[in-house]
Structure 1
Amino acid sequence: MELVQGHEGCCACRKGFCLTSLQETDAGVEGEMVFSSRHEGWQGIPHGGLAMMALLDLADHCRILKQGENLTYPLITEWRFADSVQIGDEMQLRARMERDGRIALSMFHPGRDKIYLSAELRPLEEPGLVDFALLSPARMMSPGLQKQALGIYDNCFVCGHKRRSPGLERRFFRVEDDAGEAVIVRFGGARDLSLASFFQQYPGVLHPGVLAALLDEVCGWSGVLAGDLYGYTVRFQLILNRLPQLDEEFFGMTSLPAVKGSGARKFYFPQGALYLGGAGGELEIIAVAQGQWLAREELRRQFEASHFKEDLRAVFF
């Protein structure tokens, strides 16, 4: 795999965490990925955030090869999940540069007509914002804010803490204050510097796939605020305003989602954001997301059966 120009130390390609091969084509770049246990998000199922990480990495290679520079921010990607995958599947990836500068992304099983994950990536002139109230980092850290630690699956790429392979090792918390209920998460700073260093894209900069995975996870957790819903990601709009430096600490939040439909056609529609707090109390939003999740009762039952049981009262934010 030779196409690592501008990706010194990259977790996805140089360290081989996602991509096993890369090849330049006339229109862009193609690659391969084999889902293994290190990519797990649920029992036997890869984490969608890692599929997005691989394709975001491929998009950056495509931009370097076709336009001579890394992706510029802010940018937006519109993701659509449309096929099933499992651990052990071999996948093909494709990034194609369009004439107007957009990059078309896809991940699919060889020989299948159906595409597992597709997206369109394009630049934005203005950074993404949110239309719900964000808790300040100071408020999140306050002992006065009651926090309920949410469960984990031991080998989940985002929340697992007993993995044999590197992961993000996050804990998510349900909180409630005057503004309503939310799910929050914290990442980075001195305590996570070693972990962040592994998950960089190019020197000193966190991989965009980490932001995608964190927002996918925190938005997915919003279902617990709307009647204990668990679901599959169907559509996911991700806006990346900028990539954080490895030593920057940032916070994530999602609020109560809208819910539509019933039974096997029940969906919830979360919004989420990742942001930093400034010394003067101002907030800098680095990424925002919104999407559509298909709620499934069997996922709730699987969660209760397979997720790690512990005394969550002893878990701190």
Structure 2
Amino acid sequence: MANDFIHAFLFQDATIKNDGRTIAAAIEMDYSKEGWVGIPHGGIGMGAIMELAAGFAHCTDNGELQYPVSCCFRMGGSGVRVGDMVGITAAASDVGISGSVLVEGADMPYITGDIAFGDRIAEIDEYTRDYVPSDFSRIEDKLEHLPHYLNCFVCGVDRKLPGLKRRFHLWKSTHGNIVCAFAGFNDEDQDTFYRFERNGFIHPMALLAVLDETMGWGGFFASANGGVSVRLNYKLLRKIGINEKLVFFGRGEKVMGRIDKRMLFWASGCGAVMAEDGSFEKVVESSGQWYAMAELTEQMRTELIPESLTQNAFSVVQAKG
């Protein structure tokens, strides 16, 4: 298992225990791992499980994860807060590994995941992702900026700590309200998004985290509410080099229930590499389910910045409703 920037960011100086069938570590969910207000970003836990998977010979080729990769994560159990100690565990399975993130002292993990590699991968959903345009010209100059949270690992563009620092955008397409994010379109990305790389290829954590947030925004525009992740599914089709330009897409797919009772929403997403001619190659697919929460929606109104972009985002869903 590599001892580099990614590993140090996730595990600091934690001891990694490996008995041949299980690899585990205990880490602090410190401020560098924050996603929403006081809560670690889900992409951190998922990325830590993926990092431990790299310690299994049957999941790797020459020390690198085998591709394609399918990931099915479930969120629940006890909540986690910034400052909590958590145990990250990965255990070998017939198709890859099963992993979990357990808050110290809790009975149930807050993240569990099943990850398969190579020809053992699972299908993750049946979405067509017909909203992905044929080329970049279809979305260029048609994007509206979305707000961000100050210290979010993914969207905290001004945060002082290492982070992905992605900006999100709304594209009002003929296929609905599509949320987009970009990587590799400016030199600064080499010090943010592409810093989370190994041997010249983007670490899965960066992809999982950005698509989680892209789909969450997509679900917001379908449901008019923020939500907490319940299930997240990914298929990583190939390794992505640090010299490749990426566009992430997300769309809300379905909403059930009412916010004053019980509301769930579903979203799909993908990451596509942009070729020199502007055409897209899908390299990551994703989907998920969220539990909508009125208090989280209200936090979005008060915590996202700048206020003008927050008002614009809410005006879009209010106009739809």
Return the TM-score normalized by structure 2. 0.86
1:228 corresponds in structure 2 to 224
Offset at residue 162 of structure 1 (A):
2.3
Q: Deviations over 1:30-66 (max 9, x none)?
A: 1122111111111100100111111110111234799
Are the structure 2 counterparts of residues 163 and 225 from structure 1 closer, same or farther at C-alpha, using a change threshold of 3 Å? same
Are 2:83 and 1:85 equivalent residues in the alignment? no
Q: How many residues align?
A: 302
Are the structure 2 counterparts of residues 21 and 114 from structure 1 closer, same or farther at C-alpha, using a change threshold of 3 Å? same
Distance between the aligned counterparts of 1:42 and 1:26, measured in 2?
36
2:254 corresponds in structure 1 to 258
Corresponding residue SS for 1:112? coil
1:138 corresponds in structure 2 to 136
Pick aligned residue for 2:117 from 100, 123, 126: 123
Are the structure 2 counterparts of residues 156 and 86 from structure 1 closer, same or farther at C-alpha, using a change threshold of 3 Å? same
Distance between the aligned counterparts of 1:51 and 1:228, measured in 2?
27
Distance between the aligned counterparts of 2:240 and 2:165, measured in 1?
18
1:214 corresponds in structure 2 to 210
Are 2:70 and 1:72 equivalent residues in the alignment? no
Offset at residue 256 of structure 1 (A):
3.2
Distance between the aligned counterparts of 1:114 and 1:122, measured in 2?
23
Offset at residue 73 of structure 1 (A):
0.7
Are the structure 2 counterparts of residues 190 and 307 from structure 1 closer, same or farther at C-alpha, using a change threshold of 3 Å? closer
Are the structure 2 counterparts of residues 311 and 73 from structure 1 closer, same or farther at C-alpha, using a change threshold of 3 Å? same
Are 2:26 and 1:32 equivalent residues in the alignment? yes
Corresponding residue SS for 1:224? helix
Are the structure 2 counterparts of residues 57 and 48 from structure 1 closer, same or farther at C-alpha, using a change threshold of 3 Å? same
Are 1:241 and 1:287, in contact at CA under 8 Å, matched by a contact in 2? yes
After superposing the two structures, state which structure 1 stretch, 287-296 or 123-132, moved more.
123-132
Pick aligned residue for 1:61 from 55, 63, 67: 55
Q: Which runs of 5+ in 2 are unaligned?
A: 311-321
AA paired with 2:221?
L
Pick aligned residue for 2:195 from 188, 194, 198: 198
Are 2:281 and 1:287 equivalent residues in the alignment? no
Corresponding residue SS for 1:159? coil
Q: Deviations over 1:94-131 (max 9, x none)?
A: 11112x24201011023322111101111254898850
1:97 corresponds in structure 2 to 92
Are 1:130 and 1:273, in contact at CA under 8 Å, matched by a contact in 2? no
Are 2:102 and 2:108, in contact at CA under 8 Å, matched by a contact in 1? yes
Offset at residue 90 of structure 1 (A):
0.2
Are 2:9 and 1:16 equivalent residues in the alignment? yes
CA-atom RMSD, angstroms? Answer: 2.4
Are 1:73 and 1:241, in contact at CA under 8 Å, matched by a contact in 2? yes
Offset at residue 158 of structure 1 (A):
0.6
Are the structure 2 counterparts of residues 70 and 264 from structure 1 closer, same or farther at C-alpha, using a change threshold of 3 Å? farther
Offset at residue 294 of structure 1 (A):
0.3
Distance between the aligned counterparts of 1:16 and 1:281, measured in 2?
34
Q: Deviations over 1:159-202 (max 9, x none)?
A: 112212111111111111233321111112552123244211x2
Offset at residue 276 of structure 1 (A):
1.2
Are 2:237 and 2:283, in contact at CA under 8 Å, matched by a contact in 1? yes
2:41 corresponds in structure 1 to 47
Corresponding residue SS for 1:173? strand
Are 2:149 and 1:156 equivalent residues in the alignment? no
Are the structure 2 counterparts of residues 255 and 309 from structure 1 closer, same or farther at C-alpha, using a change threshold of 3 Å? same
Q: Which runs of 5+ in 1 are unaligned?
A: none
Offset at residue 224 of structure 1 (A):
2.7
Return the TM-score normalized by structure 1. 0.87
Are 2:163 and 2:193, in contact at CA under 8 Å, matched by a contact in 1? no
AA paired with 2:4?
G
1:296 corresponds in structure 2 to 293
Corresponding residue SS for 2:107? coil
Are 1:62 and 1:96, in contact at CA under 8 Å, matched by a contact in 2? no
Offset at residue 306 of structure 1 (A):
1.4
Q: Deviations over 1:259-313 (max 9, x none)?
A: 0122342000000000012345542111111110000111010111112225549
Distance between the aligned counterparts of 2:59 and 2:228, measured in 1?
34
Are 2:73 and 2:111, in contact at CA under 8 Å, matched by a contact in 1? yes
1:268 corresponds in structure 2 to 265
